[in-house]
Structure formats: C-alpha cells, structure tokens
Amino acid sequence: MTLTIENRTLSALQADLELLFIQNKDIHGCEDSALLQAIGFEGNHGTSQLLPEKRRFYIGLEKFDANNLQIAAANAVKALKKFKYTSVKASSSPFDAQSFKAFCEGLILGDYEFTHYKSKKEPTRLAAITFAYEGTQFSDFETALTDALAIAAATNFTRDLVNTTPDDLYPLQMAKIAKDLASEYKLDCDIMDEAQFLDEGMEAIYMVGRASRHNSQLIHLSYKPKNPKKVISLVGKGLTYDSGGLSLKPADSMLTMKMDKAGACAVLGIIKAAAQLQLPIEIHGFIGAVENMIGGDAYKPDDVLTAKNGTTIEVRNTDAEGRLVLADVLCYAQEKVKPDYIFDYATLTGACVVALGLYSTGVMGHNEELKASFALANRPSGELTGALPFNDHLKEELKSEVADIKNVTGRWGGALTAGLFLDHFIEEENKEKWIHFDIAGPAYTEKPWGVHGYGGTGAGVRLTLAWMQELCKA
C-alpha cells in the first residue's frame, strides 16, 4: 500500500473511495449526518463506517495524541482492507504535521500482516491512500510523511524478523541480514564468529551458544554520516531461540521464544530507519546473536564464566542467558566505540512483564534526566515505557559465594537485578550515558492490542527514533 500527499484540493484527486473524519463526535456538522445517525454511527474514536452508495468512509477522531491516532488509523486500514476499493483519498485538514505523521504511521502499521508461512495468501486490493493538502506548510507535511514511512517500515521490518522462525533466522542468518542492510544503506559491518570469542576473552557469550548447532555471531553494524551531532551505541540481545538451556523452560514458556531476538531486531530496525532518513547521528549497533540450547556441550548451572572485563560469573540458571551474552557484548561495544549514549535492548526478564504489564518497556539506568527524556519520547512515538529505579540493596543480591557475581538472585525485583547485573559491565565513564530497555513485555503479542496484530511488535524502534529525532532538533 502506498501513501502519498499532494498539494491539491480533495476534489481534484481521483479515487474509488473518500475518507472523511468526524471530529469529537460532531456528527451534525457533516453532510451525511442523517444517514449516519440512522445506522447508529456515533463517531467514537477509532470507529469507522462505510457508506457504500456514497463511496464514503467515515472515521471518528477524538484523541489527537500519537498513540490514539495510530490506533484509529490502524483500525481504519484494517476495516478498509475488507472492502474491494483499491484507491482512497482524504483531506489532511484535521491534522497538523505532527499528528499527520502519527496517523500515517498507524496506517502502515495497521496494514502489516505476516503471511510468510501461509501457503495461501489472501490478496488485498487496497493499494493507495492519497491525502490532499491545502495550505502553506506543504513541505512540513511531506517531511512528516517521509518520516512516518521510514519509521513504520522499519518497525514492520523488525516485526518480520521477530516473527521469523528459529530454524530460518539463526545467528549466521542474522549476520547476513546485517550485511544486506550494510550493502543497501552503505553501512559498515564487521562480524565476529564464535571461534574468536575465547581469544577476545568473551567466555560468557561463548558458553551460552556452545550447545547450539548454530555458530554464534557478534555483529557490529555502523551508520556513520558526515559531521554527526552525537555518537550512539545500541546493543541488542539476539537470542534466536531461548530454550532455557539445561535449566530448561517448561513447554508453555518455551513457546514464543523465537522472540528472544527482538532486541537485536529492534537495533537493526532503528539503524535502517536512521540511515534511510539520514539522521545526523553516528550509530553503532552491536548484536550478540546466539541460540540457547541443551546437549552434551551445554553450559551448566554451577559453571563459572569469565566475561571480557574480567568479572567472574557463577551460573545458577542457564535460562538467565541474555545477561551473559549482553555482558560480553557491552564490554566489546565500549572497547570499540566511545559513545555519547549507550542503549541496550533485550527481552531480558519475565519479571519486567510482572512489574509493568505486557504493554510497557522497562527503562533502567543511572541518569534520571536521560530516563525522563524517554518518558517524553513516549508521546510522539506511540510506545509506552515505565521507569524502574535501581537501588544498592538489590545490587548486593548479585554477590556470589564462589565468583564475583551470580547470574540470578532471589525472587523479587528480577527486572532490576538483571539490569544491575548489566551495570557490572558498564564502564565508570559510561554509567550516566547508559540506558537498559527491557522489552520482554511489549516485544511480542499473542493477542491484538493497539496497532499490533499477532506476533512481533517492533518495540523500541519507534521509541528510539522519536528520541533521536528530538535529539537532532536540539
């Protein structure tokens, strides 16, 4: 489906169907009010009504924040796809540039379907939506649309990767996807194979992947525009499958664990959109792509692993593998690049889902101002976040009897103790630059919510890009 905007009157556009907005349930103001009232359409936010004989499609809009606009647009596009119209036109008049961007993002996100594994694909007829713009700020609206298309496409790209099965998207394949992005957008891409991990002192990531038939990969993908305003490192957990290892997950919890690569997929999506939009920020993506399996080669509870910065880790549960992978990748990233910010993305803990629910990303770190800036980025992005506060008592709980630290703690505060585990691998000079995003809740869904259907959601992509766009304005 293509989305375009033209600097013309609505009547000058040709289309099968006209899309009209009812704002704040003001049904009386519209030409078809009698008809709409007769069929009981009230214009509630996110609801829609087709008048086939008039070739008009009404959408109710009441809430103009990004999240609600995206949802209304996604609902509308899902409804439109059930009809046989191929082209649709609408006026952009209810929107300013910012809200237009959100609405367009919602249209593309709502149009998303993952049909790769379906033997029969339902054809969709809806091919084009064109907006008419009449005013003096046309270029602002064009920019809004360009941004929306890049951000929504990157989100859908991330969703595709998350939805791909572990047998199709294994670590080497993740490296190939990074290389393909590199050739498409002229990025740099360095790949390290597990054969080099031990020479690099990275025993933690090495041991997590040892039982897998797939070779673990450490991917460094970088986008380097000329004269960047800032340098940002993004670190992603890329567990292409998390069986739990010898601390095997129960069958019900193992299901959906193809999504344990969602952090890595978000990093790839963010870099894709940033490169496409040519943001003036140098971005380095570091991904630990690993499969956590069982077998004679598996690492064990009781093992002690030495991470790249020399920290020794007592393994008490092989299912707390993400933090082991990230430990080495964080060390590696900080050695390679001295950034202004370092963010990591990980489906790290079930405890984060208990704390914040399925819809919000857990935001952790030492820099209160930086954490707050992500709460602000919620609004334009449509994503939801919740900050979880570190404290020194929880940090104490990571102490081990046999090594420097252990990879699991007691029952409470599991999202925070996982975050504090990662803190052991953040260098002193980077403490204030670092944010840990636990996306275990929102990265994947088994029931539709917001703009999402079943499967990967692209959590972290819109949030970070909105934050980066704000950074570019400053």
Report if residue 362 touches Zn ion, rule: CB under 5 A: no
Which residue's CB is nearer to ligand BES, number 149 or number 351?
Answer: 351
Q: Which of residues 312-341 bind Zn ion (CB under 5 A)?
A: 319, 321-322
Residue 380 backbone zone (phi > 0: left; psi -120 to 50: alpha; other: beta): alpha
Which residue's CB is nearer to ligand BES, number 95 or number 241?
Answer: 241
105 binds, among Zn ion, ligand BES, none (CB under 5 to 8 A by kind): none
Question: DSSP states of 337-353 as a string?
Answer: ---SEEEEEE---HHHH
> How many residues touch Zn ion (CB under 5 A)?
6
Report if residue 456 touches ligand BES, rule: CB under 6 A: no
**Residue in 184, 179, 26, 9 with CA at minimum distance from that of residue 92:** 9
Candidates 79-87, 232-240, 270-278, 429-437; binding stretch for Zn ion (CB under 5 A)? 232-240
Residue 263 Cβ vs ligand BES, minimum distance, rounded to whole Å: 10
Q: Binding residue for ligand BES (CB under 6 A) from 201, 225, 301, 350?
A: 350
Q: Binding residue for ligand BES (CB under 6 A) from 349, 360, 361, 378?
A: 349
Q: Which of residues 314-333 bind ligand BES (CB under 6 A)?
A: 317, 319-322
Given the residues 101, 210, 272, 323, select the one marked as catalytic. Answer: 323
Tokens of 191: 């790949």
Tokens of 208: 């997590």
Query: 3-class DSSP state for residue 252?
Result: helix
438 binds, among ligand BES, Zn ion, none (CB under 5 to 8 A by kind): none
Neighbouring CB atoms inside 10 A of 473's CB total 5
Rounded Cα distance, 462 and 468, in Å: 10
Rounded Cα distance, 228 and 470, in Å: 15
Q: Which of residues 418-447 bind ligand BES (CB under 6 A)?
A: 440
Rounded Cα distance, 45 and 107, in Å: 15
Report if residue 242 touches Zn ion, rule: CB under 5 A: yes
Residue 322 Cβ vs ligand BES, minimum distance, rounded to whole Å: 4
Rounded Cα distance, 16 and 29, in Å: 24
User: Is residue 395 annotated as part of the catalytic site, yes or no?
Assistant: no
**Residue in 258, 294, 106, 51 with CA at minimum distance from that of residue 170:** 258
Which residue's CB is nearer to ligand BES, number 105 or number 242?
Answer: 242
What do you get for the CA distance between the two ends of the chain, in Å? 34
Given the residues 249, 316, 336, 379, select the one marked as catalytic. Answer: 249
Rounded Cα distance, 448 and 474, in Å: 36
350 binds, among ligand BES, Zn ion, none (CB under 5 to 8 A by kind): ligand BES
Report if residue 361 touches ligand BES, rule: CB under 6 A: no
Residue 449 Cβ vs ligand BES, minimum distance, rounded to whole Å: 15
User: Is residue 249 annotated as part of the catalytic site, yes or no?
Assistant: yes
383 binds, among ligand BES, Zn ion, none (CB under 5 to 8 A by kind): none
**Residue in 88, 75, 86, 99 with CA at minimum distance from that of residue 130:** 88
At 74, phi and psi to the nearest 5? -65, -45
Residue 73 Cβ vs ligand BES, minimum distance, rounded to whole Å: 28
Q: Binding residue for Zn ion (CB under 5 A) from 194, 260, 291, 328?
A: 260
Residue 414 Cβ vs ligand BES, minimum distance, rounded to whole Å: 6
Residue 121 Cβ vs Zn ion, minimum distance, rounded to whole Å: 32
Report if residue 438 touches Zn ion, rule: CB under 5 A: no
Q: To 5 degrees, how large is the angle CA 73–CA 79–CA 83?
A: 135
Which residue's CB is nearer to Zn ion, number 174 or number 239?
Answer: 239
Helix (H) or strand (E) holding 372: helix 368-381
Residue found under tokens 């899309």: 19
Pairing of strands 217-223, 281-292: antiparallel
Tokens of 133: 């713009």
Binding site for Zn ion (CB under 5 A): 239, 242, 260, 319, 321-322
Which residues are annotated as catalytic?
A: 249, 323
Binding site for ligand BES (CB under 6 A): 242, 260, 317, 319-322, 347-351, 408, 414, 440
